[in-house]
């Protein structure tokens, strides 16, 4: 799992039928210290996250698991909203 901050939404009038009704969000990956790490990416939201929230997401085949039995074509899926984290 990876940490990220939701920085925007994606609106698409035409997309794969398996993505119908699913919310697409733009997320900025974060380093453990909370700083931006890498380039933003688009992820499917499985938990109702909103802009500005910190989330954790998965990549690869596991990104579609929250939507089974439908398997939307995705590389990244938001699977949790982070309340806080601590790094020692």
- Which band of pLDDT confidence, cut at 50, 70 and 90, is reported for residue 78? very high
- Which band of pLDDT confidence, cut at 50, 70 and 90, is reported for residue 86? confident
Please report whether residue 25 resides in a domain.
no
Sequential DSSP letters for 6-29: EEEEE--SS--GGGTT-EEEEEEE
- Which band of pLDDT confidence, cut at 50, 70 and 90, is reported for residue 80? very high
- For 66, the 3-state DSSP assignment is helix
Distance CA(23)–CA(29), nearest Å, equals 18
Q: Which range marks the domain in which residue 64 is found?
A: 47-88
Please report whether residue 51 resides in a domain.
yes
pLDDT of residue 70: 86
Give residue-wise pLDDT tens across range 25-70: 999 999 999 999 999 999 999 999 999 999 999 999 889 888 888 8
How many separate domains does the chain show? 1
Output DSSP code: residue 4. Answer: E
CATH for 55: 2.40.50.220
């Amino acid at each position: 799992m990876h940490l990220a901050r939701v920085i925007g939404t994606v609106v698409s009038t035409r997309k794969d039928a398996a993505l119908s009704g699913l919310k697409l969000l733009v997320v900025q990956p974060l380093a453990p210290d909370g700083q931006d790490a890498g380039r933003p990416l688009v992820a499917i939201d499985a938990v109702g996250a909103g802009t500005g929230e910190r989330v954790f997401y998965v990549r690869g085949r596991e990104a579609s698991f929250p939507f089974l039995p439908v398997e939307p074509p995705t590389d990244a899926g938001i699977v949790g909203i982070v309340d806080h984290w601590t790094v020692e």
